[in-house]
Copies of this chain bind each other. A is one copy, B any other.
Amino acid sequence: MSRNKERGMHKVAEILRSAGIRPTAQRIAIAQYVLREADHPTAEDVKAHLDRVFPMVSTATVYNTLNALVEHGLIRAIKFPHADAAIYDQKMHHHYHFLDEPSGRLYDVDPADVQVKPQLGATCEITEVDVLIRGRLIDPGLSGPSTTVSPT
């Protein structure tokens, strides 16, 4: 388990290095969490986790590091209408989100499962389409992710 963690952290250090971010202890701990362990965490979630597993990190370093990870293309920062804090998403491929309103939990949605066909005419050029589906999971008890809506 310790060996696993060390291997994991080593791997994360390499990811940071090859993205052009110098792997300091704090950055490795933060990246380890957002890239490998967390599920749509906010900066506050990251800070709370680090306070448990790391001797000392400041809020400033958490934000600095998350911003660096975003700038270097390792994660994305996303703001949703239903919450103030940004969430960080380690899935870099294009995808949408499903919000289970009772629980507030976010699930990734494969764009293949959502047809979006804007017919806006020739007067504009579309660079991106954001989709947030709000609703409620009917049977959250069924443990596994379905093919189409998967907890992340």
Contact = CB atoms under 8 A, between A and B. Distances in A.
Given A81-B130, A101-B127, A120 B148 contact: yes
Interface in A90-128: 98, 100-101, 109, 113-128
Interface residues of A, number: 40
Contacts of A4: none
User: How many copies of the shown chain assemble into the complex?
Assistant: 2
Contact of A134 (B100, B123, B129, B135): B129
The SS class assigned to the A binding surface is strand
Contact of A146 (B121, B131, B137): B121
A2 interface: no
Contacts of A78: 81
A68 interface: no
A79 interface: yes
B109 A138 contact: no
Given A79-B79, A114-B117, A129-B131, A123 B149 contact: yes
Given A80-B81, A123-B142, A148-B120, A115 B113 contact: no
A132 interface: yes
6 contacts: A98-B124, A123-B149, A126-B134, A128-B135, A129-B132, A130-B131
